[in-house]
Structure 1
Amino acid sequence: MALILVGEDDIDVTELLLILLEDAGHETVHVDNGEAAIASFATSRPDLVLLDVAMPGSLDGLEVTRQIRGLEAGGDRRVPVMLLTARALEEDRRSGLEAGADVYLVKPFEIDEMLRTIESLLAEGTSS
């Protein structure tokens, strides 16, 4: 079982993600803005972070990802970050990966693909 931080402001997407992740045996922490995502990351140190790119507040998912990578600097563990977003342009994808995301998944996403990717990221994290 992994602890997964979910940063998503759309209630329908949030409910779907929380149900899917909890049914897969994971524990979840939900936040609906970037500031809360950073605070939760700093205190809970999740095993994986799922973030929407467009969230309310002054920090979007890209900036949250950058700050997470900054918080990890010099540490012994890199937490996988998956961005889930409606932004489908190649330029957006590149920006997400350059910010430090491990995976950039466009909404609507295939549920099975998302769950397989999460399990793969978690497995990579336990083997390093």
Structure 2
Amino acid sequence: MIGLAGATLVACAEKAIPERQILGADPARGLALIEAEGCGACHRVPGLKWPRGAVGGPLDGMSSQTMIAGRFPNRPDVLVAWLRDAPAMAPDTAMPASGLAEDQARDVAAYLYTLDAD
């Protein structure tokens, strides 16, 4: 017999990864912005052949990650804020503020949410 604590753990383990879609955002534009902004200089970004940076974390599997930069919940609103101005959220981060407009950051986030773990 499973007690209340055991049932809670089982329920947590069975939760599906939430689907992360951003209405009105365009993942294709997001990839183009990732390339134009030079995100690949620091990050390995699936969909970019070059550059393949290794300073920042790889962005494979972004759709299934639970945290952004190991600190923030992986939710669309949080990811958009992070993409626009990471230092405002974490002053000690090496990631610079991007200067992306809100709609551009939404497109980039939409692309990142298409990336499944390999």
- TM value normalised by structure 2: 0.29
Name the one with the larger helix percent: 1
Higher CA-based Rg: 2
- TM value normalised by structure 1: 0.28
Name the one with the larger strand percent: 1
For CA contacts below 8 A with separation 6 or more, give which structure has more relative contact order: 2
